[in-house]
Every structure is written in C-alpha cells, then in structure tokens.
Amino acid sequence: MRPRPLLAVALILTLGVSSGCARTLYNFGTVEPGRIYRSAQPSPLFLRWLLAQRGIRTLINLRGRTPGFESAFAARHGLRLYSFNLSAGRPPTTQDVERFLSILEDPNNYPLAVHCRNGVDRTGYMLGTYRVEVTGWEAGRAIREMNRYLQFERLNAVPQAVVRDGLRRN
C-alpha cells in the first residue's frame, strides 16, 4: 500500500525544515548564534520551527503589512513583532535604520528573527548596515555575506550601495 501523496509531502516538508533544509526553503541563516537569525517570509510551519529550535522572542518584518498568521502567531506566543515598510528598490530612511538598530540594541528582544519576502535585499541591507555600524565589519565583508544569501549587485544595486555608502548615525 502506497502512502497518500499529501501525507508524504507534509512529512518531507516537516523533516526538511527540521533537518537543515531551512537554509534552502527560507534562505535562513544565523547572523549571531543564539541572538540574530535571518530568513525569507516564514510560513506558519517555519514560525513554529523558529520558536522551538531557536527560541525566538522577537520577529522583525521588513515587508510592511504583516501577514495575519504571523501577527496571530506572535500574539499567541507572546512574541514582540516589529514591522517596517521597506522597499528592495530604494534605500531605507535614516529613521528606519535608527529604529532597526535600536531594536537590535535591546537585549530583551533576543533571540530575534529578521525577514523580508525572500530574505535577500531588505534583510540584506538592514543586517549589512548592522554589521558595519554596530559590529565594526568592513562594508566589503558585509557585502560578501549578502552574496551568500543571494543578493547580487547586478540584479539589484540598491542593497549593496546602502551598505557600501553607509547611513552613519549621528
């Protein structure tokens, strides 16, 4: 007797997320172990995985309007949820960068997960800015990290320009 196709797909997806396919499915990565994670838009299943496996306390959505299931998940599990209305095609405002960095400077927010739609451009430039402004990385190093998460300048030059040119805090 063959297993039902939907059950098989659900099992594969569940095992895939828990066994390391999170990197492939959600462009997931660790920025700072136990503190900062990055990804594409998480599904309900992936949100459960982030909570169970990474113990997240805070979600940072860079897409603007937060999907209902994400808001409901955060409320149900007592997570902090911050939303930014950013665009992959234009730089963030200085105020957005300041607000983002202030969230990352608050130890009560850890561990946290940052995401946009694909975990590439907006997530890349905000975390790249964090790397340069807060941790002291050279811009080139932050851009190489962005490349590992599929952010390539010839496809969209804005994210790398944001990190390279900087938005220095006063």
- SS3 of 59, please? strand
Distance CA 98, CA 110 (A): 18
Residue 4 covered by a domain? no
Residue 126 covered by a domain? yes
Mean pLDDT of 135-156: 78
Q: DSSP assignment, residue 21? A: I
Bigger pLDDT: 86 or 24? 86
Residue 144 covered by a domain? yes
Residue 41 covered by a domain? yes
Domain total in the chain: 1
Q: DSSP assignment, residue 112? A: E
Distance CA 83, CA 85 (A): 7
Distance CA 134, CA 144 (A): 17
Distance CA 46, CA 57 (A): 14
Mean pLDDT of 62-82: 95
Report the range out of 60-69, 73-82, 89-98, 119-128 with the highest average pLDDT. Answer: 73-82
Distance CA 81, CA 100 (A): 12
Report phi then psi at 66, rounded to 5.
Answer: -85, 130
Mean pLDDT of 77-99: 95
Residue 117 covered by a domain? yes
4: confidence class by pLDDT, cuts 50, 70, 90: low
Mean pLDDT of 106-133: 94
Residue 167 covered by a domain? no
133: confidence class by pLDDT, cuts 50, 70, 90: very high
In the block, which residue shows the tokens 């340069």?
132
Residue 101 covered by a domain? yes
Residue 114 covered by a domain? yes
Q: What is the CATH number of the domain that holds 134?
A: 3.90.190.10
Which residues form the domain of 46?
29-155
**Cβ pair 57, 79 in contact under 8 A:** yes
